Amino acid sequence: MSEDPENVEKMEGDSAKPDRMFTLKKWNAVAMWSWDVECDTCAICRVQVMDACLRCQAESKRDFYGKQDCVVVWGECNHSFHYCCMSLWVKQNNRCPLCQQEWSIQRMGK
Amino acid sequence: MPRSGWDPTEDSEQGTLTATASSRIKRDLMTIFTDPPPGLFVVGDELNLKIIHAIIVGVMDTPYEGGFFYFVLKCPNDYPIRPPKVKLMTTDAGNVRFNPNIYSSGKVCLSILGTWNGPAWSPAQQLSSLLLSIQSLLNEKPYFNEPGLVQEQIPGDSKRYNEFIQHETLRVSVCGMMENQCRLSIPEQLKDIMGKTFLEFYDQYVEIAKNNMHLDGTEMIDPFNKGRHLCHYKNLLLRLEKIRAKVMGKTWNFFKEPSCTNVDLKERQTNEEAKCSSTIAS
């Protein structure tokens, strides 16, 4: 883009030293990222899996020092939920709430 | 601990909602408010967060068209781990069974509610998906909702059932609901929505009544429920017109200009009513 004014000036054959319209001195690159998982909202409490689940959020409100570590759990079906939410559900029915497959844990973490 | 019984109005579960449950109910309601599915209106109970009031408007081109079906839902303390309990309140005080899967007691037979066989409840369901499932029971040919009925028992059964539903929709879920014959405690917000929707559907109601007038005096038989009913579209037309005049009066009252007195309003209403009865007479 900055070359355009130069070209115009050359074509017109005006001054020897081109006058730049502007110079780029600095820029800030912004990058976005998201977790590469199939489901990023916990279907049980409807909060992002990377945030604490509703229960942990409510409890940490009450308890200032006791910081809750709300982990995420992935099933063999690749669906992810909060561990807290899922542990309540599997007691009721040991199936993935989304695909109804038998629930078995693939991995856990954050 | 299993919760026995399907009836939300007779549910004995005490205690309070868990933190997850109360936030989740609010989220579910918010989803419906921000992106309302057509023909589906909900409002939370003013006093009890566990209770949700819902109106499902009968979908066009079904015998339920334009009808107001008022449901009461109660969420368990651990919602969404277990499903809400649901009851249809629009049953003409327990006299009309509107669907093979919705009894005159108000019980809704749906596998996700645990009241029927099939795919069970999943916590990935929410209030909107549940209400949409119920709305889908109120379809074009409800006769075939009855498990095992893939074929009519007597030819024409499905058509006759539709005629019955169409009449009862106008009688109970339109006129009865607008007049609140059964004295249901429907929240004001839902009543307002009903009034507005009534006016939108009014021409269709009248058309249905006029197109079926030839059935007047004949007996309708509900193959899924005891009791016989007589068709009475002439009377329904009269009721519809009275309700319309009343609703219009209310709307008029709401938006009335300062110069318009109550006397004007009454006069207007009587004119409207006079006009209605003259239409009937002709």
The β-bridge partners of B57 are: B68
Predicted confidence at residue B2, as pLDDT, reads: 44
Predicted confidence at residue A51, as pLDDT, reads: 85
Lowest mean pLDDT across A54-68, A80-94, B212-226: A54-68
Tell if the CB–CB gap between A100 and B122 is shorter than 8 Å: yes
Lowest mean pLDDT across A18-22, B54-58, B156-160, B193-197: A18-22
B231 noted as active-site residue: no
Tell me the chain B residues in contact with residue A95 when contact means C-beta distances shorter than 8 Å. 122
Predicted confidence at residue B234, as pLDDT, reads: 94
Interface of A with B (CB under 8 A): 43-46, 53-55, 57-59, 85, 88-89, 92-93, 95, 97-98, 100
On whether the CB atoms of residues A55 and A84 are closer than 8 A, the answer is yes
**Residue A109's pLDDT band (cuts 50, 70, 90):** confident
pLDDT of A78 > 60? The answer is yes
Tell if the CB–CB gap between A45 and B20 is shorter than 8 Å: yes
Query: Is the CB of B27 inside 8 Å of chain A's CB atoms?
Result: yes
Q: Per residue in A19-38, pLDDT tens?
A: 888 888 899 999 988 766 55
Tell me the chain B residues in contact with residue A97 when contact means C-beta distances shorter than 8 Å. 122-124
Q: How far is B63 from chain A (nearest CA, A)?
A: 33
Q: Which of B62, B127, B74 is nearest to B99 (CA)?
A: B62
| Choice among B75, B109, B175, B231 that is catalytic | B109
Predicted confidence at residue B75, as pLDDT, reads: 97
Angle at which helices B188-211 and B233-255 pack, to 10 degrees? 140
On whether the CB atoms of residues B55 and B88 are closer than 8 A, the answer is no
- The radius of gyration computed from the CA coordinates of chain A, to the nearest angstrom, equals 27
d(CA B281, CA B279): 5
pLDDT of B118 > 90? The answer is no
Tell me the chain B residues in contact with residue A44 when contact means C-beta distances shorter than 8 Å. 20, 80-81, 123-124
Average pLDDT of B148-164? Answer: 86
Structure tokens at B196: 């507005």
Strands B68-74 and B51-57: antiparallel
Q: Which of B156, B187, B186, B160 is nearest to B173 (CA)?
A: B186
Predicted confidence at residue A67, as pLDDT, reads: 53
Taking all residues of chain B, what is their mean pLDDT, rounded to a whole number? Answer: 87
Predicted confidence at residue B255, as pLDDT, reads: 54
Residue of A nearest to B1 (CA): A92
Average pLDDT of B66-88? Answer: 97
Tell me if residue B278 falls in helix, strand or coil: helix
Predicted confidence at residue B48, as pLDDT, reads: 94
Q: Per residue in B127-138, pLDDT tens?
A: 999 999 999 999
d(CA A7, CA A3): 6
The reported pTM is 0.80
Tell me the chain B residues in contact with residue A45 when contact means C-beta distances shorter than 8 Å. 20, 23-24
Tell if the CB–CB gap between B123 and A43 is shorter than 8 Å: yes
pLDDT of A17 > 60? The answer is yes
d(CA B203, CA A52): 52
- When CB atoms are compared, the residue of A43, A53, A59 closest to B124 is A43
Q: How far is A90 from chain B (nearest CA, A)?
A: 9
d(CA B175, CA B166): 12
Q: Per residue in B210-264, pLDDT tens?
A: 999 999 988 888 878 776 778 899 999 999 999 999 999 876 665 554 444 444 4
Predicted confidence at residue B275, as pLDDT, reads: 43
Tell if the CB–CB gap between B78 and A88 is shorter than 8 Å: yes
Backbone angles phi, psi at A61, to 5 degrees: -65, -40
Roughly how many angstroms between the first and final C-alpha of chain A, as a whole number?
Answer: 44
Predicted confidence at residue B263, as pLDDT, reads: 45
Average pLDDT of B104-113? Answer: 94
Extended strands (E) in A1-110? 72-75, 80-82, 105-109
On whether the CB atoms of residues B25 and B17 are closer than 8 A, the answer is yes
CA dihedral A27, A28, A34, A35 (to 10 degrees): 110
Tell if the CB–CB gap between A89 and B123 is shorter than 8 Å: yes
d(CA B215, CA B209): 10
CB atoms within 10 A of CB A97: 24
Predicted confidence at residue B61, as pLDDT, reads: 94
Predicted confidence at residue B221, as pLDDT, reads: 80
Class of domain B3-281: alpha beta
**Residue A57's pLDDT band (cuts 50, 70, 90):** confident
pLDDT > 70: what percent of chain B?
A: 87
Query: Is the CB of B20 inside 8 Å of chain A's CB atoms?
Result: yes
What value of ipTM does the predicted structure carry?
0.72
Query: Is the CB of B126 inside 8 Å of chain A's CB atoms?
Result: yes
d(CA B222, CA B229): 9
Average pLDDT of B1-24? Answer: 85
Tell me the chain A residues in contact with residue B32 when contact means C-beta distances shorter than 8 Å. none
Tell me if residue B175 falls in helix, strand or coil: helix
